[in-house]
Amino acid sequence: MKTLAIIPAYNEAESIAQVLFSIKRHQPEMDIVVVNDGSSDATGAVARRTGQARVIDLPVNLGIGGAVQTGYLYAERHGYDIAVQIDGDGQHDPAELYRILDPVREGRTECCIGSRFMEYQGYRSTAARRAGIHFFTWMIRLMAGRRLSDPTSGFRAVGRSGIRLFAGYYPDDYPEVEAIVLLLRKGYRVEETPVRMRQREAGHSSITPLKSMYYMIKVSLAVVMTRLREGGKARS
């Protein structure tokens, strides 16, 4: 099946080359698109020099949602059957790609998310972020009736119908939780599989404690508003 790795990248010049070479080592048939999200460093140039990926340079920083949707638009327009999201900072291990790919390839699910909390004892983020993850686990269960252990994981794969959905609309800002709710509310099958994650190889996370609070409030409101809009449509 024709498969694409989507890598949203913002100022990841120190790690992007290693990520690209690792993907090709473990999934040599997989195509890669790096969406350089208005980086101020040499992310785009470094990715191009590897010769391993198509690089799309966004003229301004759109944020993770805009960068990921750009990747899905590319996947739809070029006829890919499966798209996987993988970070450019080295936290997602390409050796684990088969774990999120196989359930989609075999038709067992339409979206498979790599969870760091199911079995392995790899890097599990900070205590504050784990608390936020538990909150979103509760919210998704309340809003969509599913319990997922790692709803903020950006390590995920979707099939052709998911590509089409996300090419048409993808949540902006901090989109991982909203994207799951969108899939579930539209009746898509969403599953998790255990994966091992690592600490970022270089640079610093853009999510500060203050941004984490904003993230929780913004995503919570967005999910609730989506549910209210759907309720209004159902009654009209």
Measured between alpha carbons, how far is 63 from 76 in angstroms, rounded to an integer? 20
| Residue with the two structure tokens 């913002």 | 10
Per-residue pLDDT of the chain (236 residues; tens, 9 = 90+): 899 999 999 999 999 999 999 999 999 999 999 999 999 999 999 999 999 999 999 999 999 999 999 999 999 999 999 999 999 999 999 999 999 999 999 999 999 999 988 875 555 555 666 667 778 777 777 777 788 989 889 999 999 999 999 999 998 877 898 899 889 889 999 999 999 988 655 555 555 556 667 666 766 776 676 666 555 444 33
Phi, psi of 174 (to 5 degrees): -110, 90
Using DSSP, how many helices (H) and how many strands (E) does the chain show? 8, 7
Q: What is the pTM of this model?
A: 0.84
Provide the domain limits for residue 164: 3-235
Distance CA 216, CA 135 (A): 9
What is the CA 197 to chain-centroid distance, rounded?
14
Residue 17 amino acid letter: A
In the 8-state DSSP scheme, what is residue 95? G
Q: What is the tally of structural domains in the chain?
A: 1
Residue 156, domain CATH? 3.90.550.10
Dihedral of CA 54/59/63/69: which sign?
negative
